[in-house]
Amino acid sequence: MTLPRSDGPLFIVINAGSGARHASEIQPKIAALLGAADRAHRFLPAHGGGVVAAARQAVALAREQQGVVVAAGGDGTINAVAQAVIGAGLPFAVLPQGTFNYFGRTHGIPQETEAAVRALLSAELRPVQAGLVNDRLFLVNASLGLYPTLLEDREAYKRQLGRSRPVALLAGLVTLLRERRQLDLCIELEGETVCLRTPTLFVGNNRLQLDQIGIAEAPALEAGRLVAIMLRPIRGLSMLGLLLRGALGRLGEAETVTSFCLRQLTVRTPRQRRIKVAADGEVFHLRSPLQFRVAPQPLLLMVPRPDQRVEPA
């Protein structure tokens, strides 16, 4: 495929609520580095739901001026901006500002703002795979059941205690001990349909995340597939045992865990017309059936040159 130019002006969607530092602190640092490099740029600040509107504006400007759309924020912000960019065939760049930053880390993008900006200035375009659940994009993962509930609880704890990994882990422990609900799903894969009960269905599109928790199918992402994970109905202390396995990189070894590769997966919820879904940390409702699939076109990502790449950790 012919790649577009990547040396045009930068249109930066910056989320004022991502990460530990406020946008008012981050934006001047980015501007100073870009100014020193004589790189044309424009900031489009966004708050909460305003990210979608800012992303659309950035795409329109980048089309007009042969520019690059940049997302400065966490995985949720990156998802919202990528959703607007992928259909436009424009270059896309990331300046990570969130808590976990799985997408940026997977592609070797530095986590420190100054280093990320410097890497962006000489970055190279690379097509990367995206996933879809119905018409919603996901770059890291999409899920239903327990995981969306965990994310909602995590956000509630972060509002009270601050945005940090320890707070996120605390929220996860509380959710695992408390949650009792199970999902009744009918899953169609490669022409076969199976109906089952599970606390969660998780579909991953991020090699780093899947490797860290110990899912053997993680390399299948490099072959144009997604990876699904399901649990047998378990509760309480058994859930904590799975959490520990995941922390040790051994989740895939558990007898109560099933994982498999897919290009397309259809999920029906016989008891629910609409179901809560999480994609890259954002929770919303979609109408059943759900169709998980690899997006037909890649995201054109600006990735650091080898000498500026940070190894995923």
**Predicted confidence (pLDDT) per residue in 289-305, tens digit:** 999 999 999 999 999 99
pLDDT value at residue 28: 94
**Predicted confidence (pLDDT) per residue in 89-126, tens digit:** 999 999 998 777 899 999 999 999 999 999 999 999 99
Does pLDDT of 160 surpass 60? no
Beta carbons of 280 and 209 less than 8 angstroms apart: no
Fold adopted by 136-294: Tumour Suppressor Smad4 (2.60.200)
Beta carbons of 78 and 58 less than 8 angstroms apart: no
pLDDT value at residue 272: 85
Of the chain, the percentage scoring pLDDT greater than 70 comes to 86
Decide which of 261 and 240 is more confident. 261
pLDDT value at residue 236: 62
Q: What CA–CA distance (Å, rounded) separates 197 from 174?
A: 22
* Averaged pLDDT for residues 266-273: 91
The two tokens of residue 68 are 């690059």
Domain range list for the chain: 10-128, 136-294
pLDDT value at residue 20: 44
* Averaged pLDDT for residues 283-290: 94
| Adjacent-strand bridge partners of 136 | 133
Please report the beta strands in the chain, taking only residues with DSSP state E, as ranges in sequence order: 10-15, 41-46, 68-73, 91-96, 124-128, 131-133, 136-138, 141-145, 183-189, 192-198, 200-204, 226-231, 257-262, 264-268, 274-279, 282-287, 290-294, 299-303
Does pLDDT of 270 surpass 60? yes
Name the range with the highest mean pLDDT among 19-23, 61-65, 148-152, 269-273. Answer: 61-65
**Predicted confidence (pLDDT) per residue in 33-79, tens digit:** 999 999 999 999 987 678 999 999 999 999 999 999 999 998 889 99
Q: What CA–CA distance (Å, rounded) separates 138 from 69?
A: 17
Domain 10-128 class, CATH top level: alpha beta
User: At 244, which helix (H) or strand (E)?
Assistant: helix 236-247
pLDDT value at residue 152: 65
Q: Residue 220: pLDDT band by 50, 70, 90 thresholds?
A: very high
Does pLDDT of 127 surpass 50? yes
Q: What is the number of H-type helices and E-type strands within the chain?
A: 9, 18
Q: Residue 173: pLDDT band by 50, 70, 90 thresholds?
A: low
Does pLDDT of 184 surpass 70? yes
Q: Tell me the three state secondary structure of residue 134.
A: coil
List the one residue out of 238, 234, 229, 239 whose CA is nearest residue 201. 229
Of 32-36, 241-245, 269-273, 292-296, the range with the lowest mean pLDDT is: 241-245
pLDDT value at residue 27: 93
pLDDT value at residue 114: 95
pLDDT value at residue 259: 97
pLDDT value at residue 39: 97
Of 25-29, 138-142, 234-238, the range with the lowest mean pLDDT is: 234-238
Name residues whose C-beta falls within 8 Å of residue 38's C-beta, 6 or more positions apart in sequence.
none
Beta carbons of 204 and 210 less than 8 angstroms apart: yes
Fold match, 10-128 / 136-294: no
Of 27-31, 115-119, 177-181, 291-295, the range with the lowest mean pLDDT is: 177-181
pLDDT value at residue 237: 67
